[in-house]
């Protein structure tokens, strides 16, 4: 072959080939398959529904209380210098030395080691015909597991209860 047999060269180089762009999404290919048996689909739905309902039930049944705690309940009586609180309840007379005893007065629960384990307040009160003012006591969140508990109303000293008495709501304290 001679140089004369070769075709002439172009004046400019040929343009670069355009890049090949991939498709934005792979093409959807129909894959032959079987449909799920309606009975199997129903069983799966039933199992999922039961699981969800059971979970919601377990959470709501547990409530806000910790299973390792209890509510210490009972009563506290003020036997001297009782007056009406201006409503349906009663309290200690303001100039008697018992003026710190009223609905809302602090109740402190101590564990066997002397540490504060829970706090609350005196609840509703009612004066009986003998002039005694009885307050409801309910202290939430007292941890189980102590050998005994001590309960103090205001700063008036403690009353000791066995763990069984405390958990059974047998607090019965008085002042006056």
Length of the chain: 176
pTM, two decimal places? 0.61
Confidence at residue 176, expressed as pLDDT on a 0 to 100 scale: 85
79-105 pLDDT tens trace: 999 888 888 899 988 898 898 999 999
How far is residue 49's CA from residue 30's CA, in Å, rounded to a whole number?
A: 31
pLDDT, tens only, 102-125: 999 999 999 999 999 999 999 999
Spell out the long-range contacts of 52-59 with Cβ–Cβ below 8 A and sequence spacing 24 or more: none
pLDDT at 36: 66
Q: What is the pLDDT of residue 85?
A: 87
Query: Hey, which CATH number is domain 69-175, 3.10.450, 1.10.3470, 2.60.40, 3.30.310?
Result: 2.60.40
**CA nearest to 139, candidates 162, 116, 112:** 116
| Domain range annotation of the chain | 34-63, 69-175
């Amino acid at each position: 072959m001679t140089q004369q047999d070769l075709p002439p060269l172009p004046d400019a180089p040929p343009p670069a080939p355009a890049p090949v762009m991939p498709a934005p999404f792979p093409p959807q290919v129909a894959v032959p398959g079987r449909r799920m048996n309606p009975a199997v689909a129903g069983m799966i739905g039933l199992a999922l529904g039961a699981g969800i309902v059971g979970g919601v039930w377990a959470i709501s049944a547990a409530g806000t209380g910790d299973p390792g705690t209890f509510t210490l309940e009972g009563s506290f009586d003020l036997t001297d210098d009782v007056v009406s609180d201006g409503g349906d309840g009663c309290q200690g007379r303001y100039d008697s030395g018992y003026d710190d005893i009223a609905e809302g007065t602090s109740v402190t629960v101590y564990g066997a080691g002397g540490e504060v384990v829970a706090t609350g307040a005196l609840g509703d009160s009612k004066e009986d015909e003998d002039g005694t003012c009885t307050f409801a006591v309910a202290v939430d969140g007292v941890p189980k597991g102590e050998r005994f508990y001590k309960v103090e109303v205001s700063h008036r000293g403690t009353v000791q209860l066995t763990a069984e008495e405390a958990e059974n709501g047998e607090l019965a304290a008085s002042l006056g």
